[in-house]
Amino acid sequence: MISKNPVIFFDGVCNLCNASVQFVIERDNKNIFRFTALQGEYAKKILPKFNVDLKRIDSIVLVERGALYSKSSAALRIARRLSGLWPMLYAFIIIPKFIRDWVYDIIAKNRYKWWGKQESCWVPTPKLKNKFMA
């Protein structure tokens, strides 16, 4: 079942991705987002409905209101819903997607080399458990 809340799908073994999830949680004052690892069962159930090949995805994915966004589009759509000045980043949406995604792809390609990798997916604390899809 697709969540009524926007769901952020992330690489559960990537240190940068896990830090990004924690960053969003800290700034999600309205409790908007839900989260799940790309390696998890929820991703295996939901993402194929959007013709996503789980073996080939190397990007953050946002499913919001029945639509799927990835790479820079997902990141900017997430930023615009956070508290503080982060929504101002959404102004970068005017930059053509191929340019935004080119920068995103450089970071994604090097994320393990620059930030490292975990042996297993991050496990949320009991307090945060309700923000995560099983």
- Asked whether residue 1 is assigned to any structural domain, the reply reads no
pLDDT of residue 121 exceeding 60: no
What residue numbers bound the domain in which 18 lies? Answer: 7-131
How do strand 61-64 and strand 7-10 relate by DSSP bridges? antiparallel
- Asked whether residue 22 is assigned to any structural domain, the reply reads yes
- Asked whether residue 2 is assigned to any structural domain, the reply reads no
d(CA 130, CA 112): 28
Count structural domains, the chain: 1
- Asked whether residue 77 is assigned to any structural domain, the reply reads yes
- Asked whether residue 93 is assigned to any structural domain, the reply reads yes
- Asked whether residue 102 is assigned to any structural domain, the reply reads yes
pLDDT of residue 25 exceeding 90: yes
- 3, 15, 37, 54, 121 from 132: Cα distances, Å: 11, 17, 9, 19, 12
pTM (two decimals): 0.88
Query: Model confidence over 62-109: pLDDT tens digits?
Result: 999 999 999 999 999 999 999 999 999 999 999 999 999 999 889 888
- Asked whether residue 26 is assigned to any structural domain, the reply reads yes
Can you read off the two tokens belonging to residue 59? 């990007």
